[in-house]
Amino acid sequence: MSKGIMYIDGKRVAFDGEKNVLAVIRKAGIEIPTFCYYSELSVYGACRMCVVENERGGIEASCSMQPRDGMKIRTNTARLQKHRKMILELLLAAHCRDCTVCEKNGRCKLQELALQYGIRNIRFQDTREKFELDKTSPSILRDPNKCILCGDCVRVCEEVQGMGVIDFAYRGSKLQIMPAFNRKLSDTDCIGCGQCAAVCPTGAITIRGDIGRAWKAIQDPTKRVIVQVAPAVRVAIGEEFGMEAGENTMGKLVAALKMMGVDEVFDTTLGADLTVMEEASEFLKRLENGGPFPMFTSCCPAWVRYVESRNTKYLPNVSTCKSPMEMFGATLKAHYKTMEAVDGKGAVVIAIMPCTAKKGEAQREEFKRDGLNDIDYVLTTQEISTMIKENGIVFKDLESEATDMPFGLGSGAGVIFGTTGGVAEAVIRRCSAEKNTNMLREIEFCGVRGMDFVKEATVTVGEKELKIAVVHGLKNAQDLLKKIDAGEVSYDLVEVMACWGGCIGGAGQPTGRFDQRKARAQGLYDADQLSQIKRSEENPMIMALYNGVLKKNRHELLHVHYGKQD
């Protein structure tokens, strides 16, 4: 890695290992504009907004320049401004301009830069061809008319998720981004992870919204609206309101939801505790029965979709446990059925999730009973923050409130589900015979924590040494599967989360990069640290549920068989 001093707009700036000049410029506090640059993806170099001028008057894109000692560049000369304006004008000429009614209004990069550069006039004729919207995915909405062809979605789909569902098609001025043969997303292997929407600078790919339906339910006096909040949401939603990533704002969120008119607010952490119980016992059963191994976790619906569509041979290896959201949803619906008989209020279960694939999961046939979904609506962290803003609530100033009883109690093991490694750690806690604090520390440091893409741990359960792997990013998971296929590695348990960082990096969260993901994970570990109950089996609610609503139909409510397995 190179080190040295360069001169940016006359200022001395030290660089040390930055991968390109753009990173050095941003380090120097200059917000150089970009559309196609994401530090975590490969450098594409197509938008040409980040151009800088060198000493000889040459113009180059800073995203693809190596910093050199003594290098002198300027970032904002008259020529550069002229070119940036022209590029913006060209992009706007090929783009729809109904900003005020756009889903992305206020968060659109194109809008932001057009404002920043004072684009007031488009001198080119509107010769755009109109394209049909793709509304077939339960998770995302594709509007090709708003696409600026930066390719961020293509790269994230391929490089991070290894799916390659969308790609460039045709070329030149006919260039488009689409699935093969311009199919609808519902006819593809799209896993609904929504990462394409998370990186899209404009409104070309957005998350399917359920805000309207949610409001309708909340405002309907004949309905009992029950909300469950996933662990990862609490450490990220504050970012939408100017708070730090990782700050646990569960209490404020509960208060906000109550102000909005939600009847009951529960914690999906309890669902996670159920999952730990079920998954651990399934795992132990597999150990008794000799497999099949590795057992894969099933909490991540995007991962489950991947196995179903592209790697069916591993279907028997996927845990039969429903995800915490669905376990909890089924339990809630079963519980409130009895209540409905009393006051006639139908239960509407809304899940607030960091995830867009959950929207698809909620609609799956398997999770319907008596023709009704166990989860009625899934709202992302971003959607719920929009609703909070709509309601005029000053989130930052809210007094914390506690979740409702009886389903408001979760363990520390359940709360860490929201980060990569959390599920594995919680299951290890459950499986290990020793139940003391030292053991907890030992598990903490066994290797499942942290942001490495593939983490390995060996733990002893009873007589057995068990090999566990934790992987996040579906591309990394696919690479790991290839190694398993090739016999290079073998594990007993593999935790897979499709998004980087696990649920905290879900596409429903406020946009965040590595630093935010790290802070959010830390927020969850802090919550675990503070919680009185560290292990799922110690959660008194769990026993109450097993002896109550789950007593008769535990398997039906908590398990599922994915894919076409018999």
Partner 1 sequence: MENQLNFEKAEEILNAYGRQPSSLIAIMQDIQSEYRYLPQSILEYIAAGLDISIAKVFSVATFYENFSLEPKGKYVIRICDGTACHVRKSIPILEALREELGLSAKKHTTDDMMFTVETVSCLGACGLAPVLTVNDKVHSTMTPDKAIALLNDLKEGKEDA
Partner 2 sequence: MHNVHSYDELVNLREFAAGSLEKQQKKVLICGGTGCVAGGSLHIYEQIKQMCEDKGLDVCVELAHEPHGDNIGLKKSGCHGFCEMGPLLKIEPLGVLYTKVKPSDCEEIVEKSVLGDEIVKHLLYQLDGKSYQHQEEIPFYKKQTRVVLANCGQSDAEDVLEYIAKGGYSALAKALSSMTGEEVCKQISESNLRGRGGGGFPTGRKWEQVRRQAEPVKYIVCNGDEGDPGAFMDRSIMEGDPHKMLEGMMIAGYAAGAQEGYIYVRAEYPLAVNRLRTAIRKAEEIGLLGENILGSGFNFKLHINRGAGAFVCGEGSALTTSIEGKRGMPRVKPPRTVEQGLFGKPTVLNNVETFANVPEIILNGAAWFKSIGPENSPGTKAFALTGNVNNTGLIEVPMGTTLREVIFDIGGGVKNGKAFKAVQIGGPSGGCLTSEHLDLPMDFDSLKKVGAMVGSGGLVVMDDSTCMVEVSRFFMNFTQNESCGKCVPCREGTKRMLEILERIVRGEGTSEDLDLLSELAATISETALCGLGKTAASPVQSTLKYFRDEYEAHVIEKRCPAGDCKALRVIQIDPALCKGCSKCSKTCPVGAISGKIKEPFSINTKTCIKCGACIAACPFKAIKEA
Of the candidate spans 77-85, 284-292, 303-311, 555-563, the one that interacts with partner 2 by CB under 8 A turns out to be 77-85
* Of the residues 4, 164, 251, 563, which one makes contact with partner 1 according to CB under 8 A: 164
Residue whose tokens read 């001028």: 53
In the range 178-237, which residues lie near partner 1 by CB under 8 A? Answer: 178-181, 188
Measured between alpha carbons, how far is 347 from 218 in angstroms, rounded to an integer?
11
Find the Cα–Cα–Cα–Cα dihedral 365, 367, 373, 376, rounded to 10°.
-120
Of the candidate spans 74-82, 129-137, 156-164, 267-275, the one that interacts with partner 1 by CB under 8 A turns out to be 156-164
Measure Cα distances from 265 to 225, 299, 328, 349, 551 in Å: 9, 21, 12, 10, 24
Nearest to partner 2 of 175, 394 (CB atom): 175
Nearest to partner 1 of 170, 445 (CB atom): 170
Phi, psi of 288 (to 5 degrees): -65, -45
Q: Is 444 annotated as catalytic?
A: no
DSSP 25-44: HHHTT-----SS--TTS---
The upper half-sphere exposure of residue 507, i.e. CA atoms within 13 Å in the direction of its Cβ, equals 32
439 scored as a contact of partner 2 (CB under 8 A): no
Catalytic residue among 503, 531, 534, 536: 503
Q: What is the DSSP letter of 158?
A: I
Per-residue x/- track, 460-489, partner 1 (CB under 8 A): ------------------------------
Of the candidate spans 3-11, 164-172, 308-316, 370-378, the one that interacts with partner 2 by CB under 8 A turns out to be 164-172
* Of the residues 158, 239, 308, 361, which one makes contact with partner 1 according to CB under 8 A: 158
Q: Is 278 annotated as catalytic?
A: no
Q: Is 158 annotated as catalytic?
A: no
Measured between alpha carbons, how far is 202 from 185 in angstroms, rounded to an integer?
19
Residue 366: how many CB atoms within 10 A of its CB?
13
Going along 153-261, which residue ranges are E strands?
166-169, 176-179, 205-207, 223-229
171 scored as a contact of partner 1 (CB under 8 A): yes
Catalytic residue among 62, 137, 298, 319: 319
124 scored as a contact of partner 2 (CB under 8 A): yes
Of the candidate spans 39-47, 186-194, 296-304, 388-396, the one that interacts with partner 2 by CB under 8 A turns out to be 39-47
Nearest to partner 2 of 173, 338 (CB atom): 173
* Of the residues 32, 63, 226, 250, which one makes contact with partner 2 according to CB under 8 A: 63
Binding residues for partner 1, total number by CB under 8 A: 15
Helix (H/G/I), strand (E/B), else coil: 122: coil
Q: Is 319 annotated as catalytic?
A: yes
509 CB-near residues (< 8 Å, 6+ apart): 198, 232, 233, 236, 354, 380, 381, 382, 520
Phi, psi of 106 (to 5 degrees): 90, -15
Catalytic residue among 150, 153, 200, 299: 299
Of the candidate spans 46-54, 130-138, 289-297, 464-472, the one that interacts with partner 2 by CB under 8 A turns out to be 46-54
Structure tokens that stand for 331 in this block: 């339990």
Q: Is 282 annotated as catalytic?
A: yes
Longest dimension (CA), the chain: 81
Phi, psi of 64 (to 5 degrees): -120, 30
175 scored as a contact of partner 2 (CB under 8 A): yes
Residue 206: strand pairing partners:
141
Residue 150: how many CB atoms within 10 A of its CB?
26
90 scored as a contact of partner 2 (CB under 8 A): yes
308, amino acid identity: E
362 scored as a contact of partner 2 (CB under 8 A): no
* Of the residues 82, 285, 389, 441, which one makes contact with partner 2 according to CB under 8 A: 82
159 scored as a contact of partner 1 (CB under 8 A): no
Residue 59: strand pairing partners:
53
150 scored as a contact of partner 1 (CB under 8 A): no
Nearest to partner 2 of 43, 96 (CB atom): 43
Measured between alpha carbons, how far is 184 from 138 in angstroms, rounded to an integer?
12
State the binding partner of 164 from partner 1, partner 2, none, CB within 5 to 8 A by kind: partner 1
546 scored as a contact of partner 1 (CB under 8 A): no
Per-residue x/- track, 236-275, partner 1 (CB under 8 A): ----------------------------------------
Structure tokens that stand for 183 in this block: 């199919």
Residue 531: how many CB atoms within 10 A of its CB?
18
445 scored as a contact of partner 1 (CB under 8 A): no
Q: Is 279 annotated as catalytic?
A: yes
Q: SS3 for 387-430, per residue?
A: HHHHCCCCHHHCCCCCCCCCCCCCCHHHHHHHCCCHHHHHHHHH
Please give the positions annotated as active site.
279, 282, 299, 319, 358, 361, 366, 503
Residues that bind partner 1 (CB under 8 A): 158, 163-171, 178-181, 188
Residues that bind partner 2 (CB under 8 A): 43-48, 51, 59, 61, 63-64, 66, 79, 82-83, 86-87, 90-91, 93-94, 123-125, 127, 148-149, 168, 170-175
